[in-house]
Structure formats: C-alpha cells, structure tokens
A and B are shown apart, each in its own frame.
Chain A
Amino acid sequence: MIVAERVTDAARSFIQRIRISRAAWLRVAVAAILLITLPFVFRLDGHAHANWLQFLGRFHPALLHLPIGLIVLLPALEILGARRPALREAADFVLRAALALALPTLALGYMLAYGAGDTGVTVARHMWGAIALCICLLLCLLARPAWAMREQAHVYPALLVATLLALVWTGHEGGSITHGSDYLTRYMPGPLRVLFPSTSPSGAAVDSFYSQQIHPIFESKCVACHGASTEKAGLRLDSYGNLMRGGKDGAVIVPGKPETSMLLARVTLPPGDRHFMPAEGRTPLTSDEVSALRAWIRSGATPTATSIPGIKAATQSTEPPPQPVGDYGQLMPEIVGMQRGVNAKLVPVSAKASDGLILRTADVASSFGDAQLAAFQKFAPYIVEADLARTAITDASFDTLKTFTHLRALHLEGTAMTGANLGKLSSLKQLTYLNLSGTRVSAQSVAPLKNMPNLRHLYLFNTPAQPDNATARSNP
C-alpha cells in the first residue's frame, strides 16, 4: 500500500510539475486501455475470419517498416539535436509521425492474425510487443514537451529506451513468424552456437532418418506457419510428437499409408490448387523431399529407423572417396607397348592419370596364370581395378594381389580359387568390390573378409559359400 501511495504521489507531483493537461492524460489513458483490451475483445481463437480482414491484413508487412524507421530515427535526432537545435524540432514531428503509422500497422497486423486464424506463442508475443510499443510511443508523446523545456530530464529518455527495446523485441518475434524461429541461428558460426543450443526434434533419435532427412524439410518449408510461433489449423510440425498428433482436421500422417496421409496429399497437389501446401506462394517441396517423405511414411513413419530403402541420403556418403594413385609417367611406354600386342592390358580409368589403371585380361583369360600376374607387380600401386575373371590364376596369386595397395575392385569370378589365403586381401584397405562368383570359396574361407569395413560389394553367387539359388550379399 505504501509503495502504491508513494507511486501515486510521485505521479501526481510529476504531472503537476510538467503541467500536462488532464485532457491529454485522459486521451492517452483511454488509448492504452483500448489497446490492452483489444486481444480480449477479439480473441485469437485459431479460426479464420472474414476474408477482407486478411486482405487488408496482408498490407501489414508492407507498412510496418515505416514506423520502425521513424522510431530508430528518433534517438538519433534527439542526440544530434544537442548540437543542432533544428533537428530536435524535427524530432517532435517524427515522433508524431511514428505514432500515426504505428497504430494503423498494429491494426493491420491484428487483422492479419485475427483474419487468418493465427495462434501460437510467437504470434502472441509479437502482438503484446506491438501493444507495448504503441503505449510507449504514446507516453513518449506525453513526456517529451517537459523534457524539451528542460523541466524533466530522465523520464523521456527512459521511455525512449523502453520504446527501442520494445521495437527490437517485437521486430524479432515478427521475423520469427515469417522466417521461422531458427532463422538467425541456423547458419551461426560454431563458437556462437554454444550460446544458443539448438533444440533437437524431440521424440526422435538424433541419427534417425526422421531427424536427418524429414525434420529438416518441415523445418525449412513448414514450421513458419505450422510451428511454435504460428499454429495454422492447429497443426505443428516442429517435433515428431506434434507431427503425429496432427491438427484440428485429425492426423496428417498415417504410418505405412502415404496415399491416405493428408500431409503428403497436400504437398503433392497441383501447385495451383487452393489446398496446396506450402501455401501463399512459399517454396514448394522438391521432388526429392516428397519422395523421401513418401518412403518414410511407407516404411512406418518411425522416429528411430536410420535408413529407408530406395532413398539415398545425400549427406552420408557410403563409399570412401577414391585415393589418387602416384605418378606412373615413366612406365607409360611399357603400358602403351602392352596395348599393342595380344596380351593382358593396362588401361587408364579415365583421362585423369591419378584415377589409376585397370588390368584387363578378358581376351587372354585362359592363358593368364599366376606367373603372368606376377609380371604386373611393378605396376601394382597404380592398379585400381583388376579383372581376372575366368583366368587360370590360383590361390598362390593372393601373395601378388596383396601388393596391389590401391586396388578398389577385384574380379576373380570363374577362377579355380578355393579362397584358402583370402585373408591376405585384408591389407587392401581400399577394396570395395570383390567378385568370387563361380569359384570354390567356402563360408569359412570368406570369413576373414568380414573385418574389411570398406568391402561393401562381395559376390559369392554359385559358390559353396552361398547356395546356387540365394541372392548375393551386397550391402550398398
């Protein structure tokens, strides 16, 4: 009580000192009360209202930058006015103009939210910020004359600072509505990022297909309207839980059934359709995004699965990048000479020498044995692919092959290999492809290959290691 009395006394003495007419006070008070009660009279209930409201409301973004500019200009004029009094005279006009523009901007913004049925935390914050801003401006208008006549030194500057703070806050919240809440932090450099820990899509494993592929789609294309800030149609796509909960028209994802999932239907409508999403001319989903979404829904729309068949995740590269081979320039005459005769050939992978060489034996396969392969040992570090299919080489050649340090693909199909020394290949760190189809390798002779992490394509068709009718093991 004592505090309240003291504040009232201070206000009364303040009013008397700066001699503001009662009528002016009354006008400001009525305007402030009107502004504060506005959200309670026209409640933002999530339902769209008259179209003309939205039509006018959409001029809000066009208008709002004018009062912002004027408000930011205001302190500059006041400060510089200490030197050049003419500027301080202008400040009065600018303040009035700012208020005259801020009020209609607020009205238009309210029409936009009310007309479109926007709800959400950010919309509410933006609205209250704007109301506070307008009240601050009204008070500035009241307090300024006393300050200008040097009767009161602190009230107007304090109000001006409050106005600017309200402006920054309101502007930021407004930006979050249009661009998404992570607009500023998304491309923030790493060191700054620790200050703003980003929220991971709750309810999903971090390395899951949902987190890696699906959530980023919603994050960039959908949450501006269907997120924490704005919840159009009561739908939020900012977390797995909210996504599966759906909106006011029910679930938008039916696990396993892309054709009945409303979300997928809406993003795949023809772009001109009035139900097409993303609405209002925002960037549509790309065909890759749609197919990722469809495959994810088809596979059960789980938050945990890490890979979905048929979809190649762009971010994860499955194959290690090929390492360039050394310079084999001085061996070139020999390589070219070989290409002339009737024997095995070394041919470049491509016009780029560092892509390495391929050893080809297709036309001399039957006469190509261990001794012939051994003759290629001096080219060993430059050979990236060896096609020894249906040649006469035997298990003894593994000693030669293990020196082919850059070998990425090895064809041994149709040879007499039993695979006894297959383990020697484990020194070939770059080997990704090994074809042993039609050889006599057994299950235990290929066992050592399991320790080769890069060996992604192993073919054992028609061998004792794999019965005739089963399909090849290939883990792409």
Chain B
Amino acid sequence: MKQHPLCTDCEPELDITHLPIPNGLKREWATVESRRRFLGRSGKVLGWAALASLFGESALHGRTAFADAQSPVTSPGRNNIELPHFAPKAKRAIYLFMSGGPPQLDMLDYKPNLASQFNKDMPDSVRGNQQLTGMTAGQSRFPIAPSHWGFKQYGQTGTWVSDLLPNTAKMVDDLTIVKSTNTDAINHEPAIMFINTGNMNPGKPCLGSWLAYGLGSMNDNLPTFIVLQTKTNPKENNQPVSSRLWSSGFLSSEYAGVGLRSGGDPVLYLANPDGIDSDVRRKMLDAVEAINRQTLAEVGDPETNARIAQYEMAFRMQTSVPELTDLSKEPQSTWDLYGPDAKQPGTFAYNCLMARRMAERDVRFVQVYKRGWDVHGDVVGVLPLLCQETDRACYALVTDLKRRGLLDDTLVIWAGEFGRTVYSQGGLTRDNYGRDHHPRCFTTWMVGGGVRPGITYGETDDYSYNVVKDPVHVRNFNATILACLGIDHNRLTYEFQGLDQRLTGPQPAYVVKDLLA
C-alpha cells in the first residue's frame, strides 16, 4: 500500500496472512478465494445492481421512500409501521420527572421500624456488595437516619404518606404506587439517561421520541413531544439536565422533544419581527422549502426532510403557541386548585397547568423536569421546599385532568432517576441528615389511562435498601408505560448499528401486568 506523503506512520501492507484471525480461516480463504471465483462474484454483483436500478428507488428502500416522495413533510420511516399494536388505554402521557433522586424514605416508603434504630449502624448484610458513590464510600460508618417526618394512612387503601405530601395523600386511592422500581446506575448522568432512553450512554432515543416516532402526532399545530423545565431554586442542589435527555438519538431529529423556555417567551423568535407579516413569512418559508427540496434531491440526507418539517411546525406554532400559553381564559377554579405559583411562568405549578393545557390540545407526550431532589445534606431544610413546590401541583394536575375527563386516556407518571440511602451521608444529628444516591429501590407512581388505581406494588426491606417483593426494573417500568399506550415494546424497533434497537434495550424486558388496569 502506498504511503500518504503527510503520514508519518509506517503502515504495513494489508494482507490477510498478517491479520489476527485463526489460521484455519486463512487457509480456507486461500483455497476458496480464487481469482476465478472473485471475478465470477463481481459479475453477479454488477447484475444485481443493474436489476435494482431498473426497479428504481422503491426496491432499494421499500415503501418508505416512495411514501416520502408523495408527502415529504411526513417523517421518514413512520408510514410503514403499524401502530398502536393494540387498542391503547392511554392516548397521551405526562411525565413529571423529579431529577436528582427523591428520597423515598421521607415520602412514600414508610419504615416505622427505623425510628428505634436512630444512629445505629446499618447491617453489612443488608448492604451486600452494593457499590457506593465516591461521596460516602469513605465514610467509616453508615448510621441509620429515620425519616424526620411522620406518616399517616390515607384513603380507602390506607396508604402511608409522609406529612410532607398532604395533597398527594388526598389522591392515593387513584395512584398506582411502585415501591420497587430499581435501576442499574448510581450516578446522575448514567441513571437519568438510563431511565429516559434505556441506555446509560447518550445517543439513544428517549421515551418521548419513541412515542413520537411510533404513534405520531395528534395535533399538527403543536410538537408531538414537549419538554418543560422548571426554574431552579437556588436553595436546592440542582443537578444539570440537558437536551441529551429528550434527544431523538438515531431517530430523525423531528422526534426530539421541543423544549419550551421557563421564562420570558416560551419559544424564542416566534413572533414575526416588525414589518414582516404572515404572508411574507409564508413566502419566505416556501422559498426555503424549495431550496431544501433541491438539496434533498441532490444529497438525499433524511435530516433535510426533518428540517423542512421543523420549519413548517415553527410556522404553525406562531399561532398555536400564543393560544396555548394564554392563561387569561382559565376559570377561577383553576387558580384555586393549582395555587398562586401557577401564575408565574417557570414554576412547577405553572408547568403542570401547561401540561394539562397541552393534554387538552392532544400533545402526545409532555415531560416536566423538576430539578433539586439531590439531597446529599440538609434534608430537613431542603426537602420541605421541594415538596411544597411539587405536592400541590401534582395533585392539581391529576385532579384537573380527572374532572375534565382527560385522565381516562392520559397516563401521568411521577419518577426520578433513582432513590436515596437509609444511612446518613455526612453527620447525622437529631435535627438533620443527608442521603446519598441509591439505585436498588425507589418509589414512583403512575395514574390514569391504562394503570390500575389504588394499589401499591412491590415491597422493600426494613431499610428500604433492597427490594424483597415484585421488583420493577427500569426496563420493565418503561415497557409497562409503552403497554399503556398500546405499544408492544418488543415490536417498536428501529434498525441501527446492526441491531433492532428498542427503548428497553437488548436485554429481555417484560410488561408488569399487575400494574395494568
């Protein structure tokens, strides 16, 4: 092989006899790959290529390419998948994501036995071989920190709920509480990627993108998948969340989540500049589209298609988003329910109200991120703030959906990326403690279309450290969510890197049937 003039590496000539492959294979190659055979095969390849060109595009890409040529605005690859696989219970979903890892021990996983074990060491047998984070791995002891707050039973189901969640307590008879959710990762970034995309490494599509890809839009005037971020509270320990979490990965980028801003204009530059009216804008977009189509014809990059669709969506959003975010017509009962916070854009209550308005307008998937749950220290100081911000809003959202008749076909999911430890991180006093990351169990809840109301599923041990009954791995949790929306997680796939990729990954996952209505 000839060496490149600028290359300083001495590159040996590529020869099969020098490659690190078994000798048997090399011998076989030498006997089989004769000149005659090589030339013969080349001839066949040319023949197939000629035949393919006769059949045209459709033979190369199946029906998809043909359909796209007819209506280029629709997404590539969506037309040939037949979804939902079965009649869904829920048409849309709202995912309230509690980023940082809410402490299940102080909220819904009641452990009355711990009160008497204050400051005692957690038995090593409970901890087993669990890897610890760098933050507590050096601790000489693991003192048990019972919850600072009391628990009471609520509802007909008698579910134990912390005093921090007086509003959530009012709806326990509607909730499907899963105490045995568990994950593989112990740090934020891998864990949050894992629960959102089914893989700890970035690059895979998230749940919302799979839904947008699989089920498509129900309202062409709004994005299929919208992400709402909650303004951070500086008193809380806010782990970053990034657009990787609502990325469409290898799926076309039109299935990525569209983030609405938490302050100011929800979508920047959405209004037409002074002196430009809607007709001028339309003409400009038509011209851009014509150029884009030309590029598409020349280069054939599907991302160009996505770009055309996104321009069109942006144009329609110029009218639909102002109507969506105009809260002036909300009745007084809305404000009574959500509370005064809901009037300030960017608060969690405001986002919950927006999520309800999006559900009304048939947005397929809304994900609301609330950061700050990473309570490594000062649980007693910070957790009440977090609960105040979220408890009433969660209750308001569920109640509002219910009274408006939307909860029948909307699935609401409340989850974080992992749980927190029973033992205190840092000093433990009678008045305060911290909790470290804990992947082996955490509590989540769902409510609405498809799930069974008024049950608590799964159990943890006396230390809320290990699952002792009915574990629900994140994979199975996601498979169950898909099932509520009419999707068989094994059949919603997309071929990439030689694999039929799916949200639940290559390992077997199953739907937790006991959670379904």
Contacts and interface: CB of A to CB of B under 8 A. Distances in A.
B517 interface: yes
B219 A363 contact: yes
Nearest to B488: A351
Given A350-B85, A350-B486, A472 B402 contact: yes
Contact of A322 (B82, B85, B87, B457): B87
Contact of A413 (B83, B156, B332, B405): B405
B362 A351 contact: no
Most buried by B among A308, A322, A351, A471: A351
B88 A362 contact: no
Contacts of A312: 452-453, 517
Contacts of B83: 350-351
Given A350-B85, A461-B403, A360 B218 contact: yes
A310 B156 contact: yes
Interface stretch (A16-24, A171-179, A246-254, A287-295): A287-295
B405 A287 contact: no
Interface string B78-97: 00001111111000000000
B27 interface: no
A99 interface: no
A469 B333 CA distance: 6
B470 interface: yes
A349 interface: yes
Nearest to A291: B455
Contacts of B455: 291, 310
Interface string A284-305: 0001100100110011000000
B405 A309 contact: no
Interface in B440-454: 452-454
B469 interface: yes
Interface in A425-476: 433, 435, 437, 457, 459, 461-462, 468-469, 471-472, 474
B178 to A, nearest CB: 12
Nearest to A341: B71
A467 to B, nearest CB: 9
B156 A350 contact: no
Interface residues of A, number: 41
B469 to A, nearest CB: 7
A331 interface: no
B156 A437 contact: no
Contacts of A370: none
Contacts of B409: 409
Contacts of B486: 350
A294 B155 CA distance: 12
Contact of B405 (A291, A350, A355, A472): A472
B405 A435 contact: yes
Nearest to A437: B404
A198 B453 CA distance: 34
B158 A294 contact: yes
Contacts of B82: 351
B361 interface: yes
B156 A355 contact: no
Nearest to A471: B403
Q: Tell me whether chain B's interface is mostly helix, strand or loop, or mixed.
A: loop
A342 interface: yes
A295 B159 CA distance: 10
Interface string B217-228: 011110000000
A352 interface: yes
A454 to B, nearest CB: 15
Contact of B219 (A299, A362, A433): A362
B156 A308 contact: yes
Given A299-B156, A469-B336, A352 B173 contact: no
A468 B405 CA distance: 14
A452 B88 CA distance: 24
A459 B219 contact: no
A219 interface: no
A160 interface: no
Nearest to B400: A461
Contact of A355 (B71, B87, B360, B361): B87
B156 A387 contact: no
Contacts of A139: none
Contact of B86 (A299, A350, A459, A469): A350
Contacts of B189: none
B331 interface: yes
A459 B405 contact: yes
Interface string B425-467: 0000000000000000000000000001111110000000000
Given A312-B452, A340-B71, A360-B218, A457 B408 contact: yes
A362 B155 contact: no
Interface in A298-334: 298-299, 308-312, 322
A389 interface: yes
B404 A310 contact: no
A311 B221 CA distance: 40
A302 to B, nearest CB: 14
A205 B173 CA distance: 26
Contacts of B456: 291
B220 A352 contact: no
A287 B71 CA distance: 52
Interface in A343-384: 349-352, 355, 360, 362-363
A298 B156 contact: yes
A459 B362 contact: no
A298 B405 contact: no
Nearest to B323: A366
Contacts of B233: none
A424 B453 CA distance: 33
Interface in B398-417: 399, 402-405, 408-409
B362 A360 contact: yes
B221 A363 contact: yes
Nearest to B458: A287
Nearest to B405: A459
A362 B361 contact: yes
A352 B86 contact: yes
Given A350-B85, A360-B218, A413-B404, A309 B454 contact: yes
Interface string B191-214: 000000000000000000000000
Contacts of A351: 82-86
A295 B331 CA distance: 37
25 contacts: A287-B469, A309-B173, A310-B157, A310-B453, A349-B88, A350-B85, A350-B86, A350-B88, A350-B486, A351-B84, A360-B362, A362-B362, A389-B360, A413-B405, A435-B404, A437-B404, A437-B405, A457-B405, A461-B403, A462-B331, A468-B332, A469-B333, A472-B403, A472-B404, A474-B402
Given A340-B71, A469-B336, 9 more contacts: A298-B156, A351-B84, A351-B85, A351-B86, A362-B221, A362-B362, A363-B221, A462-B331, A472-B404
Q: Which 9 A-B pairs have the closest CB atoms?
A: A310-B454, A459-B405, A309-B156, A351-B82, A435-B405, A362-B219, A362-B362, A310-B157, A363-B220
